[in-house]
Structure 1
Amino acid sequence: MRLARPALRGPVAAARFLVRRVVTLPPVETVPVGRMLDVPGGRTFVVDVAGPTPDAPCVVLLHALGCTAYLTWFGVLAELSRTHRVIALDQRWHGRGIKSERFRIADCADDAVGVLDALGVASATVAGYSLGGAVAQETWHRHPERVSGLVLASTARLFRGHAGERLFFPVMTLAMHLLSRIALTQVERLAAALPELPSVELTDATRWGASEFRSTSAWSMPEVLSELGRFNSAPWTSTIDVPTAVVVTGRDQAVPARRQRRLAASVPGATVFDAPGGHASVVLDAERWTPVLLEAVADVTRRARGHRRLAG
């Protein structure tokens, strides 16, 4: 169906590709062990990787649509932990994330801060990929005092720009208004059947990727997409006052590069870091994508230190 392509391509398609075929993946044999954590909104899966020193800066990673904390970020956890304390969580309606009545980006933003509270972290750089980039923006908007910087990757201010998307998202919203109870029941049923914690062994990467992908119910996708279609940060991105980097995937067909660049242009002082691949680069082009992300995080961290000094 042509109207669905703009919204469904990208991380979901990448995960399906990973499940079906052997692809070149980041050379990772294991990932850090996570745990279930109680936050005000419920209970969610969290990975918390110590940095090189107790006072290392903290970065929170927010994953893509249809993925999990592990599935989006497994290739960068070890590298980022060389310089940062790294926290990643499964977002609502994904993997072992919170199962709420409806999926709301604002709730996901509150969950990110709830994780910071539970782990005793005062503030952090928030890095989001695609859907996670929308949540990262909303986290600053709702909790600016908790966000020291933003890294926004393969994302935008809004996700229904052309005519097909402007028709697709309202139709999806109407459908989910009628089906949300059924969808939530199916999502909860799958979650109840999952092992308490995901596997951390990646010796068979294809099997591991398939397991992570299947931990998110297909029923969650329309619900999340309908909310993503309502997201619009354009009225307030010009007020973002923390160091921000935008990682632009130049061959992106899910979130066109021009939208990513408009996001960067709308945020005062935002820096742009270009990655050559498409929307699934975080996994399928990790060799080229990961250094770009690391550079963006380092840039924001450096500027955030100066920002705090000036504020003080």
Structure 2
Amino acid sequence: MPQLEVAGAALTYDDEGPRDGDGVPLVFIHGWTANRHRWDHQMTHFAQQRRVIRLDLRGHGESSGAGVRTVAELATDVLALLDHLEVERAVLVGHSMGGMIAQTITLDHPERVERLVLVDSIARMTYSRGRGLLMAASTLVPYKLFVATNIQRAFAPGHPRDEVRACIKASAATPREVVMTLYGAMRAFDVLDRVGEIRIPTLLIHGYHDIQLPLRQMLRMAKACPDAEVRIIDAGHELPVEKPAELTAALDRFLIPARG
């Protein structure tokens, strides 16, 4: 896989699909403790039609590097990759923390974003009591147990255990330092008062059973961004894994007006 050296990190990425394809490139940004393979279904589908880019954020997946303290710094990494690939404008699709990165890029560099899709993401981090207790206990329990508990909570009840176990394994490979530092970065993230500035077509798509970033928090964002399209899917927080075909279909419908 190709890599890009950025500020002490080697970012692994995929860049597939026709350069003269259907519309501007799609850029997929994964969430906290995940990796670029969360987007396998979307990558396979959309790369047949247009250029599609995805990356492992620093410290995740096959990317090295640590030390990032804010969501804005992660956004800088993504922009560096787009500059390297000579992508001036793109459709950003971000899941969870990846959606926070996408919001940051959209608000700070609106000229770089054609459309915005936020999957199970919010504009102001507010943790439930249960999530707060889990994070507080993170220093008292083995790291792998903490990761397993966090990922299990992310899925809607009844999801196949093999897929949950695969996500736990991938997340447990993310260094503890990276996980805990970026937890602090997400906790500090707050652009709710700015989302009304977003003037491009926006899709907010969320799992009905999401208890990591509850639906009511996304709806608070939707209220502040009244022109956004909202779609609710019968899933938990891990929409790209739980309902990949439904997510791809929703993206396809949202992108149709942008073609040509």
TM-score (norm: length of structure 1): 0.67
Q: Does 1:292 align with 2:208?
A: no
Provide the secondary structure at the position in 2 that maps to 1:47.
strand
Quote how far apart the aligned CAs of 1:54 are.
4.3
Q: Which runs of 5+ in 1 are unaligned?
A: 1-33, 176-203, 307-312
Q: Matches of 1:273 and 1:266 in 2, distance apart?
A: 16
- Equivalent positions of 1:39-58 (< 5 A) are 39=6, 42-51=9-18, 53-54=20-21, 56-58=23-25
Is 1:66 the equivalent of 2:66? no
Task: For residue 258 of structure 1, report the CA deviation from its aligned partner.
Answer: 1.0
Tell me the equivalent position of 2:4: 37
Aligned length: 237
Asked if 1:218 corresponds to 2:176, the answer is: yes
Tell me which residue corresponds to 1:200. none
Q: CA deviation at 1:157?
A: 1.1
CA–CA separation in structure 2 for the residues paired with 1:76 and 1:133? 16
Q: Which of these residues, 214, 219, 227, is aligned with residue 256 of structure 1?
A: 214
CA contact (8 A) 2:10 2:58 kept: no
- Distance in 2 between residues matched to 1:166 and 1:277, nearest whole Å: 22
**Contact preservation (8 Å) 1:273, 1:296:** no
- What CA deviation, in whole Å up to 9, does each residue of 1:236-287 have, x standing for no partner? 001111110000111111111111122222224110122111112321x23x
Q: CA deviation at 1:290?
A: 2.8
Match of 2:235 among 260, 277, 285: 277
Considering only CA atoms, is the larger Rg found in Structure 1 or Structure 2? 1
Asked whether the 8 Å contact 2:202–2:228 carries over to 1, the reply is yes
Q: 1:115 to 1:252 in 2, by over 3 A?
A: same
Describe the shift of the 1:206–1:259 C-alpha distance in structure 2 as closer, same or farther (beyond 3 A): closer
Aligned AA for 2:245?
T
Separation in 2, partners of 1:213, 1:167: 20
For residues 268 and 154 of structure 1, the distance between their equivalents in structure 2, rounded to whole angstroms, comes to 18
Post-superposition offset of 1:297: 5.0
Q: What is the aligned partner in structure 2 of residue 139 from structure 1?
A: 105
Amino acid at match of 1:132: G
Q: Is the 8 A contact 1:63 1:132 kept in 2?
A: yes
Q: Report the counterpart of residue 241 of structure 1 in structure 2.
A: 199
Would the aligned equivalents of 2:207 and 2:233 in 1 still touch at CA under 8 Å? yes
Residues in 1 aligned to 2:225 and 2:8: alpha-carbon distance in whole angstroms: 30
Q: Is the 8 A contact 2:8 2:65 kept in 1?
A: no
State how 1:1-312 maps to structure 2 within 5 Å. 34-39=1-6, 42-51=9-18, 53-54=20-21, 56-70=23-37, 72-160=38-126, 212-283=170-241, 285-286=242-243, 289-296=244-251, 298-299=253-254, 301-304=255-258
Q: Distance in 2 between matches of 1:52 and 1:276?
A: 34
- 1:124-183 Cα deviation digits (max 9, x unpaired): 0111001111111011122211111110000111122556768988x79xx9xxxxxxxx
TM-score by length of 2: 0.79
- Amino acid across the alignment from 2:247: V
The DSSP-based 3-state class of the residue aligned with 1:38 is: strand
Give the direction of change, closer, same or farther, for the CA distance of 1:55–1:119 in structure 2 (3 Å limit).
farther
Q: 2-side partners of 1:68 and 1:57: how far apart?
A: 23
**Cα–Cα, structure 1 residues 213 and 248, in superposed 2: closer, same or farther, change >3 Å?**
closer
Aligned partners of 1:206 and 1:230: how far apart in 2? 28
- Contact 1:133/1:156, CA 8 A, preserved across alignment: yes
AA in 2 matched with 1:83: Q
- Matches of 2:124 and 2:164 in 1, distance apart? 33
Q: Percent identity?
A: 26
Q: CA RMSD in A?
A: 3.1
Cα 1:164–1:209 shift into 2, 3 Å: closer
One-letter code aligned to 1:99: G
Alpha-carbon distance change, 167 to 143 in structure 1, aligned in 2, over 3 angstroms = farther
